[in-house]
Amino acid sequence: MRAAAQAHCRAIFNMANLKRLGKETLIYGTSTVLARLLNFCLVPFYTYYLLPGEYGIIATTFAVVALLNVLFLFGLDQSYLRFASEAENKSKVFQHCFYGVLFNGLVLSVLLWVFAKPFAQLIGIGAQHAQIIHLAVWVLFLDVLNMIPFTKLRLERRPWYFAGVRTVSIMVNVAGNIVFIAYLHQGIASILWANIFGSLASLLLLSPVVFGELRSGLCKLDRTLYADMLRFAWPFVPAGLASLLISVIDKPILVHLAGLEQVGVYQANFKIGVFMMLLVSMFDQAWRPFFLAHAKEPDAKETFAKVLSAFFAVGSWFLLGLSLLMPVIIQSNLFGHFHIISPAYWGGLSVIPLVLTGYFCYGLYINFMVAPVLTKKTRVLMWITLLGSAVSITTNLSLVPHIGIVGAGWAVALSYAAMAGALFLFTQKVYPIQYEYKKLAAMAAVCVATAAVSYGFSRCSGWTPLGIKIILLTLYPLWMWLIIRKNPPATPVSVSP
């Protein structure tokens, strides 16, 4: 009886933890969803105001900005998250991370500003667009200053403040895009100017957090602490670069193999993956603080296993829904002569399911992040993400010359799948978790069957294919719920006479 009561209490406790994680995911996700959705709403705006070649320049620039952001930040946000969670003097950790990021950002910004022309030529947009690089420098520097205060809010589990700042920044960014492009006619530079003003708004709203940690005065440099933080942080740099290479290396490769116009077509359709990525981002924002907070509980691994099952159920539904319905919606006449993506960009619709699959696999990868963080073996992330980037580069170089931008889509899917698989194997080696394998297998089978049935009816005429897709997607959550709620048979307990 006592064992049964304890099991019941553990189940209630695990459910409470899952509900709290879900609540914080939704709050963090408010800003993330708004950011992704508003940025997605800018896609039709860009495709109607910018030529594919111009959009290709912006896509290539922001791909490089994403890579440079990792160098500017140098993993110090992760160091803050890890060391401040255990430190008695959290302000000391904050100052070391913030000033470290500030110094690193200044040095790299000056170098990039001075060598803007050769750098623009190197990435394929041409030396004539050096001004774009100068604006990108401001975007990078301001963004990196925001990261440590944002990480502090996450660690302190203040999701409403986090979401509020992000929301204001996003609104300023979107408004800036509209004003600079539609009214001031500043062309592709408008997108960078809008990002600069959005980052400035964010930094202004985060200033109370920053000054609150710096008001005690400049702390003395603790060389031991800073060395430990850098030692923990540096593996995140190659790991972050390798991870980003998976999602951005396709643009520079496409520039040289297919041209800026094809990059623009690819990027417009790649953006559809934002809906899956926002789900993963929402989850990630709450997941890391969650598992750090609950890692020492006796039933932590059981909770982590249930989280993976829940993510798989919700994520696979998003994957199917977006893959099956978005191409139909994009090409429909729901908005008259206006489309979500201009018809000039429809040649890339076939990459959508591949990009979505890649982001779903990235969500699985985030689930398995428990092991390297809790065991402090973060160096493995570098090798795993290098594996993913190697798969991405190899697939791009092998397939793009033969099947164009679809090859880039396959590269995204395969590289993230390789990363998830490798991190799973590492997790089971150093921090083994008994995941709900039977439930996961059942959910995967239902997912594949749903996609197969939908594809089988795709050649039918009229509204039949769309009707079948809607019916299947409506029934899918029911199947997931039935699978998740099914409890394994209880293990018999022997009672001594």
What are phi and psi for residue 335, nearest 5 degrees? -115, 30
What is the spatial distance between Cα 150 and Cα 148, in angstroms, rounded to a whole number?
5
Structural domains in the chain (count): 1
Neighbours of 459 (CB within 10 A): 8
What is the spatial distance between Cα 299 and Cα 470, in angstroms, rounded to a whole number?
39
Q: What is the pLDDT along the chain (497 residues), one digit of tens a residue?
A: 555 555 545 555 555 655 665 566 566 556 666 666 666 677 777 877 777 778 788 888 888 888 888 888 888 888 887 777 666 677 777 887 888 888 888 999 999 999 989 988 888 777 888 888 999 999 999 988 998 888 888 777 777 788 788 888 888 988 888 888 877 777 788 889 998 999 999 999 998 888 877 776 666 777 777 777 888 877 778 767 776 777 777 787 887 787 777 888 888 888 787 778 878 887 887 787 778 777 777 888 888 888 899 999 999 999 998 888 888 777 777 666 667 777 778 777 888 899 999 999 999 999 998 888 888 787 788 788 888 888 988 998 999 888 888 898 899 999 999 999 999 999 889 888 888 899 999 999 999 999 888 887 777 766 777 888 889 899 998 998 988 887 654 444 333 33
- Look up tokens 């643009």; give the residue: 251
Amino acid letter at 199?
S
Domain-embedded: residue 149: yes
What is the spatial distance between Cα 143 and Cα 109, in angstroms, rounded to a whole number?
12
Domain-embedded: residue 197: yes
Domain-embedded: residue 215: yes
Domain-embedded: residue 157: yes
Domain-embedded: residue 127: yes
Under the phi-then-psi rule, with left for phi > 0, alpha for psi from -120 to 50, and beta for the rest, what region is 74? left
Domain-embedded: residue 328: no
Domain-embedded: residue 342: no
Note every long-range contact of 293-298, with CB atoms under 8 Å and residues 24 or more positions apart, other chains counting. 294/17, 295/370, 295/374, 298/10
Domain-embedded: residue 329: no
The residues pairing with 338 across neighbouring beta strands, listed in sequence order, are 335
Query: What's the whole-model pTM score?
Result: 0.68
Range of the domain at 195: 75-233
Note every long-range contact of 294-298, with CB atoms under 8 Å and residues 24 or more positions apart, other chains counting. 294/17, 295/370, 295/374, 298/10
